[in-house]
Amino acid sequence: MANHLVLLTAICYGASLAGYIGYLATARRDLGRAATALLAAGIVLHYLALLDRTRWAHTVPYDDLYGSLSLFAWLLAATYLGLELFHRQRSVGAFVLPFVLVVFLLSHGSVGTPVPPPARGPLLALHITLNILGYAAFALSFVLSLIYLIQNRLLRNRHLGSVVWRFPPLEALERMSRSSVLVGLVSLVVGIFFGFLWANRIWGQYWNGDPKEVITLVILVVYAGYLWLGKTKDWRGARASALCVFNFLFVLFSYSIVNLYLSSFHRYF
């Protein structure tokens, strides 16, 4: 693999994080614009690194844990950049970029011999890629909701500093979180659709009752519930943000349990 692409990507992400922190601390627009430009450059370089990994492994980037993490980090960064440009809010970049950088670095912590995945095809590739995009968007909504809850608590307790005043308004954070969840839901629904088509082509049926399929549908329901409740008077604001945080923790817990169950099942048989 081209280590220079990985190094340049990490440098761009790190410099972008520094720019976002500087923008948050000083409100200098030139720092904010530089941070956004560096993030865009990092996304382009990261994409080239993913292509290089694909050529090296002769398979898709998500063939193993490290490739999946790298794709997750890229989709997280790209989704955030899209939301930043759409909502014109740079203040949360200082909180999102650490997640992007850490996941990216973890994804390149080890590189083993590539093993071709047991199943191939464009339907499966679209299914997995869109699912990863969905969960990246949910992770972003988790970060945005956490910022909302922290800022809301500081405002209520009147623990105000110069940095707090540079945060986006609570309403903007809530809109960005809903937009991120909407991206996640659409990606997951389309990804599930392609997954059903692929399953029918391989096994002759759309639904297998696999635990991961069940959990994915439950996740769709809880995030759709968040969008619906977030528009009601009683749930708008902090309650909706807390629900969004809970939903992502539920995602992490559910898939941890499912993966543990499947690994134990395979060992037993």
Task: Say if CB 28 and CB 22 are below 8 A apart.
Answer: yes
In tens, the pLDDT along 11-45 reads 999 999 999 999 988 888 999 999 999 999 999 99
What is the value of pTM for the model shown?
0.83
Q: How far is CA 4 from each of CA 9, 46, 48, 62, rounded to the nearest angstrom?
A: 8, 11, 11, 21
Q: Report the alpha-carbon distance of residue 235 to residue 87 in Å, rounded.
A: 22
Looking at 36-40, 44-48, 189-193, 230-234, which range is the least confident one? 230-234
Angle of the 170-203 helix axis to the 211-229 helix axis, nearest 10: 150
Give the residue with greater pLDDT, 116 vs 248: 248
Q: Report the alpha-carbon distance of residue 152 to residue 155 in Å, rounded.
A: 5
Q: Where are the beta strands (DSSP E) in 149-192?
A: none
Per-residue pLDDT for 259 more than 60? no
Domain map (residue ranges) of the chain: 1-112, 119-269
Give percent of the chain with pLDDT exceeding 70: 83
pLDDT at 38: 97
Q: Report the alpha-carbon distance of residue 248 to residue 232 in Å, rounded.
A: 21
Paired tokens of 21: 């922190």
Give CATH for domain 1-112: 1.20.120
Q: Report the alpha-carbon distance of residue 139 to residue 244 in Å, rounded.
A: 10
pLDDT at 133: 92
Give the mean pLDDT of the chain. 84
Mean pLDDT of 189-197: 89
In 3D, which of 39, 241, 247, 231 has the Cα closest to residue 134?
247
Give the residue with greater pLDDT, 109 vs 105: 105
| Residues 6+ away with beta carbon under 8 Å from 222 | 247, 250
DSSP H/E element including 213 = helix 211-229
Mean pLDDT of 48-52: 89
In tens, the pLDDT along 106-153 reads 887 655 544 544 456 778 888 888 999 999 999 999 999 999 998 888
Paired tokens of 29: 């627009």
